[in-house]
Amino acid sequence: MNPIAKHLREVIQSKNPYVYEMLSTIGKNIYFPKGILSQSAEAREKAHHLNATIGIALENGKAMHLESIVEPVDGIYPEEFLTYAPSFGIPALRQIWKHSLYEKNPSLAPKSVSLPVVTSGITHSISIFSELWVNPEDVIILPDMIWGNYRLIFETRKGARICQYPIFSDTGGFNLDQFEAVIRKEASHRDKIIVLLNFPHNPTGYSVTREEGSRIVDILTDVARGGTHVIAALDDAYFGLFYEPQVLSESLFAMLCDRHPRLLAVKLDGATKENFVWGLRVGFITYGVEMDGDSLEFYTALEQKTAACVRASISNASHLGQTIVLKSMQSETYPIEKQEKFEILKRRALKVKEVISDAKYQNAWDVYPFNSGYFMSIRLKSVGAESLRRHLLDRYGVGLISIGEKNLRIAFSCLEEDDIRELFDIILQGVNDLEISESQKID
């Protein structure tokens, strides 16, 4: 093992040996090298005369650039986006995002968490998480309705096994009984389980209530107390877009990050959806766990391993994307702008609820519970989801996502409020079309 990796192992084990055991083989062996990047960082601090370390080009003391590149990026200096960003991310962005976590999650106030490491979007965060914490044959516990990319990341790339439970109970809330049953079954014969929780949920748009959230935390804590290492990964891609008062308005990360030394909480989030900057590709990874003594050295070690994974894959996330997000979050108008967009999405969600309450749709589909995020989903009663999707696209020019045999996902986030009723009427017409076509075939 590399000496740096050995040192990181000693630091992590001294504070919380359980977390070291949770790391994947790659996670245990990876380290942030004291090579070109670290030497260049030292030079930026001390090379006040001449600095010939980093592989960029300078001209008149500034980043060499083409005017045709710089001109469209008004108001940002070339050094703020043309040069390499640190593999950890821009320090000021990491600090302001961490500060925002405490603002958005008041119960974090007395707790210690890591400084977020910047990734190239939340998908990259999840991929980096899998590199550090997932070994082949590990189990990833997820609901039965999931974002399809989880399978590529965990099953196809890592060789892990996804174990699923029905997301909704018969009464329409989060299926706590089935969730607990699967958790305890897998924990009964494994040293480590990985639970991925995604609220607001993609594809249904459901977020747990305060009571459901508390019960999830209690279940995972109890399993950790029983001797199983538990990694709770929180995919908070759509965090903050909560539209109903009973919804838990904090991340489960805030409730899990100090519950037990065997329970590691990993927050996977980003500006992507929260700040409506999908193409800028700015995500974050943050850690929280109970440990002995001061947490700074421990979290720094985890941050180094995380940044090493970034370094080993893409080197660093977009400097321009990070700078734009940072400047936006530093703006005095930032909270006002975010609230304005939130209200637009909330009105769309409430309009969907109003429209789908019409009895004329009841024979065509059931509606999955939704209260947050970008999406809602319906379960078709009489026709197939893929055949209806294709029919709607070909005949009416309407695009939806089919999931499985009977489910359609509808992104109300990209619908104007005035278009929502028309969309559902077209879906209903499409169902009727297919039913008539099928009956004619039978005749």
Q: What share of the chain is helix, strand, coil (3-state, %, to 5)?
A: 50, 15, 35
* CB 409 within 8 Å of CB 401: yes
DSSP 247: B
Under a CB-based contact definition with an 8 Å cutoff, are residues 243 and 369 in contact? no
Indicate the DSSP class of residue 268.
E
The reported pLDDT for the residue numbered 142 is: 98
End-to-end Cα spacing for the chain: 72
- 380-390 residue pLDDT tens: 999 999 999 99
Integer CA distances (angstroms), 169 to 80, 172, 175, in order: 50, 5, 4
The conformation of residue 54, written as its DSSP 8-state character, comes to S
pLDDT over 90 at 251, yes or no: yes
How confident is the model over 162-176, as pLDDT tens digits? 999 999 999 889 999
- Give percent of the chain with pLDDT exceeding 70: 95
Overall fold of domain 3-32+87-330: Aspartate Aminotransferase; domain 2 (3.40.640)
Residues 148, 224, 104, 23: what is their CA dihedral angle, to the nearest 10 degrees? -60
pLDDT tens across 280-328, in order? 999 999 999 999 888 999 999 999 999 999 999 999 999 999 999 999 9
Q: Tell me, what's the pLDDT at 64?
A: 67
For residue range 35-66, list pLDDT tens digits in order: 666 667 677 777 666 666 667 667 787 776 77
Q: Is 316 left (phi over 0), alpha (psi -120 to 50) or beta?
A: beta
The C-alpha atoms of residue 149 and residue 123 are separated, in whole angstroms, by 8
State the DSSP string of 355-398.
HHTSGGGTTTEEE----BSSEEEEEESSS-HHHHHHHIIIII--
* Residues 194 and 141 sit within 8 Å (Cβ to Cβ): yes
Q: According to the 3-state scheme, what is the secondary structure of 104-131?
A: HCHHHCCCCCCCCEEECCHHHHHHHHHH
For the cut 90, the answer to whether the pLDDT of residue 75 exceeds it is no
pLDDT for the residue numbered 71 = 79
Q: Which residue(s) pair with 194 in the sheet? A: 140, 231
Mean pLDDT of the chain: 92
As a CATH number, domain 335-442 is 3.90.1150.10
Question: Closest Cα to residue 61, out of 37, 87, 83?
Answer: 83
Q: With bands split at pLDDT 50, 70 and 90, how would you rate the model's confidence at 234?
A: very high
Q: Given this model, what pLDDT does residue 69 score?
A: 72
Candidate from 61-65, 151-155, 180-184 with smallest mean pLDDT: 61-65
Task: Look at residue 38 in the predicted model and tell me its pLDDT.
Answer: 65
SS3 of residue 402 by DSSP: strand
CB pairs under 8 A, 24+ apart, for 95-101?
96/326, 96/329, 96/330, 97/284, 97/329, 98/286, 100/329, 101/267, 101/286
Residues near 222 by beta carbon (within 8 Å), at least 6 away in sequence: none
* Eight-state DSSP code of residue 174: B
Q: How confident is the model at residue 395 (pLDDT cuts 50, 70, 90)?
A: very high
Instruction: Give the residue extent of every domain in the chain.
Output: 3-32+87-330, 335-442
Q: Tell me, what's the pLDDT at 50?
A: 63
pLDDT value, residue 243: 96
CA atoms within 13 A on the CB side of 385: 17
- pLDDT tens per residue across span 331-375: 999 999 999 999 999 999 999 999 999 999 999 999 999 999 999
pLDDT of residue 263: 98
Let me know: does 152 contact 162? Beta carbons within 8 Å: no
What local confidence, expressed as pLDDT, does residue 347 receive? 94
Across 17-45, average pLDDT: 82
pLDDT recorded at residue 34: 73
